[in-house]
Amino acid sequence: MGKTALIVDDSPTMRQMVAFTLTNAGFTVVQAEHGKDAVNKVSVGPKMDIVVTDLNMPEMDGITLIKELRKMASFKFTPILMLTTESAIEKKQAGKEAGATGWIVKPFNPELLLKTIAKVLPA
Amino acid sequence: MSNDFAQFQAAFFEEAAEHLAVVEEGLLELEQHPEDLDLLNKIFRSAHSIKGTSGMFGFNAVAQFTHKMETLLDLLRNGQKAVSPPIADLLLKSTDCLKTLIESVKTGAPVDDAAVQRLTSELASASAAGAPQPPASELTTAIDPAQSGDLTKTYVITWTPPNWLFQRGLDPLQTMKELRGLGELTKVTLDVSRLPHLTDIDPEQCYLAWELQLRTEKDSKIVEAVFEFVREDSQLSIQQVSAKEADKGVQSQSVSTATPMPTSEMDGPKPIGQILVEGGVVSSSALDHALAQQKRVGEILVEQKAVTPQQLEQALQKQRQQESGAHAKKADTASIRVDTAKIDKLINLVGELVITQSMLSDLGARFEMSQLHVLLERVAQLERNTREIQERVMSIRMLPIGTAFSRFPRLVRDLAAKAGKKIQLVMTGEETELDKTVIESIGDPLTHLIRNSADHGLELPEERLDNNKPEMGTIKLNAFHEGGSICITVEDDGRGLNRDKILAKAIRQGLISENDKLSDEQIWSLIFKPGFSTAEKVTDVSGRGVGMDVVKRNIEGLGGTVSIKTTLGKGATFTLKLPLTLAIIEGMTVRVGRETYIVPLLSILESIQPKEGSVKTVVGKGELINVRGTYLPMARLYEVFALEPEHKLATKAILLILETEGERVAVMVDEILGQQQVVIKSMEQNFRKVEGIAGATILGDGTVGFILDVRGLIEIARQETAMAA
Could you tell me the CA-to-CA distances from B90 to A87, B7, B300 in Å, in that order?
22, 34, 51
Higher pLDDT, B542 or B553: B553
Does residue B285 belong to any structural domain of this protein?
Answer: no
CATH number of residue B688's parent domain = 2.40.50.180
**Chain A nearest-CA residue for B1:** A109
Domain shared by B447 and B360, yes or no:
no
Does residue B273 belong to any structural domain of this protein?
Answer: no
CB atoms within 10 A of CB B419: 15
Interface test with A, best of B43, B164, B222, B229 (most A CBs within 10 A): B229
Read off the pLDDT band of B226 (50, 70, 90).
confident
Q: Which of these ranges, B6-15, B522-531, B567-576, has the smallest mean pLDDT?
A: B522-531
What does the pLDDT average to over B4-29? 85
Domain shared by B308 and B353, yes or no:
no
- Subunit contact B169:A120, Cβ cutoff 8 A: yes
Does residue B269 belong to any structural domain of this protein?
Answer: no
- Subunit contact A17:B55, Cβ cutoff 8 A: no
Q: Strand, helix or coil at B174?
A: helix
- Residue B462's domain comprises 400-579
For residue B589, give the amino acid letter. Answer: T
Read off the pLDDT band of B534 (50, 70, 90).
low
Q: Is the pLDDT of residue B474 over 80?
A: yes
Sorted by where each begins, the domain ranges of chain A are 4-120
Domain shared by B383 and B406, yes or no:
no
Does residue B138 belong to any structural domain of this protein?
Answer: no
Does residue B74 belong to any structural domain of this protein?
Answer: yes
Q: Give tens-digit pLDDT for A34-87.
A: 898 888 888 877 788 899 998 888 888 888 999 888 888 888 888 899 888 765
The answer to whether B612 and B603 are in contact (CB under 8 A) is no
**Chain A nearest-CA residue for B165:** A101
In eight-state DSSP terms, residue A123 is -
With a CB-CB cutoff of 8 Å, which residues 35-74 of chain A face chain B? 54, 56-58, 70
- Subunit contact A21:B4, Cβ cutoff 8 A: yes
Q: Strand, helix or coil at B112?
A: coil
Q: Which residues from chain B sit within 8 angstroms of residue A11, using beta carbons? A: 15, 49, 52-53
CA neighbor of B144 nearest in space, from B48, B276, B278, B47 = B278
In words, the CATH class of domain A4-120 is alpha beta
Compute the CA torsion angle B120, B122, B127, B129 (nearest 10 deg): 150
For residue B357, give the amino acid letter. Answer: Q
Does residue B282 belong to any structural domain of this protein?
Answer: no
Interface test with A, best of B4, B56, B72, B226 (most A CBs within 10 A): B56
- The kind and range of the H/E element at B325 are helix B309-329
Residues 6+ apart with CB under 8 A from B13: B102, B106
**Chain A nearest-CA residue for B12:** A13
Between CA B719 and CA B725 the distance in angstroms is 10
Tell me the pTM: 0.51
Domain shared by B387 and B460, yes or no:
no
Higher pLDDT, B635 or B700: B635
**How many Cα neighbours within 13 Å face the side chain of B222?**
21
Q: Which residues from chain B sit within 8 angstroms of residue A72, using beta carbons? A: none
**Of the partner residues B134, B168, B266, the one whose CB lies closest to the CB of residue A112:** B266
> Any CB–CB contact under 8 A between B61 and chain A?
no
Between CA A70 and CA B171 the distance in angstroms is 16
Read off the pLDDT band of B252 (50, 70, 90).
very low
Could you tell me the CA-to-CA distances from B355 to B83, B253, B348, B373, B458 in Å, in that order?
60, 77, 11, 18, 60
Q: Strand, helix or coil at B444?
A: helix
> Any CB–CB contact under 8 A between B67 and chain A?
yes
Does residue B137 belong to any structural domain of this protein?
Answer: no
CATH number of residue B190's parent domain = 3.30.70
For residue B317, give the amino acid letter. Answer: Q
Is the dihedral angle over the CA atoms B541, B545, B550, B551 positive or is it negative? positive
Number of A to B CB contacts under 8 A, please give it: 109
The answer to whether B438 and B579 are in contact (CB under 8 A) is yes
> Any CB–CB contact under 8 A between B70 and chain A?
yes
Domain shared by B540 and B483, yes or no:
yes
With a CB-CB cutoff of 8 Å, which residues 208-237 of chain B face chain A? 226, 228-229, 233
Higher pLDDT, B224 or B298: B224
On the 0-12 / 13-18 / 19+ scale of CB atoms within 10 A, B437 is: middle
Which of these three, B579, B611, B630, is where a domain ends? B579
Between CA B550 and CA B539 the distance in angstroms is 18
Between CA A11 and CA A31 the distance in angstroms is 11
CA neighbor of B715 nearest in space, from B691, B694, B695 = B691
Q: Is the pLDDT of residue B526 over 50?
A: yes
What does the pLDDT average to over B399-425? 86
The answer to whether B550 and B448 are in contact (CB under 8 A) is yes
> Can you give the pLDDT at residue B540?
43
Does residue B334 belong to any structural domain of this protein?
Answer: no
| B279 to chain A, closest Cα gap in Å | 26
Q: What is the 3-state secondary structure (H, E, C) of B354-377?
A: HHHHHHHHHHHHCCCHHHHHHHHH
Q: Give tens-digit pLDDT for B452-469.
A: 888 888 888 888 888 888
Number of folded domains that form chain B: 6
DSSP A22-43: HHHTT-EEEEESSHHHHHHHHH
The answer to whether B61 and B109 are in contact (CB under 8 A) is no
Between CA B153 and CA A82 the distance in angstroms is 33
Domain shared by B319 and B409, yes or no:
no
Interface test with A, best of B2, B49, B266 (most A CBs within 10 A): B49
Q: Strand, helix or coil at B159?
A: strand
Domain shared by B190 and B75, yes or no:
no
For residue B114, give the amino acid letter. Answer: A
> Can you give the pLDDT at residue B519?
80
> Can you give the pLDDT at residue B143?
40
CA angle B394, B396, B397 (to 5 degrees): 75
The answer to whether B579 and B585 are in contact (CB under 8 A) is yes
DSSP B329-342: HTT--------HHH
Q: Give tens-digit pLDDT for B368-403.
A: 888 899 999 999 999 888 888 887 887 787 888 887
Domain shared by B558 and B650, yes or no:
no
| A13 to chain B, closest Cα gap in Å | 6
- The kind and range of the H/E element at B655 are strand B654-660
Burial state string for B308-341 with b = 16 or more CB within 10 A and e = fewer than 16:
eeeebeeeeeeeeeeeeeeeeeeeeeeeeeeeee
Q: Which residues from chain A sit within 8 angstroms of residue B8, using beta carbons? A: 13, 16-17, 20
- Subunit contact B53:A122, Cβ cutoff 8 A: no
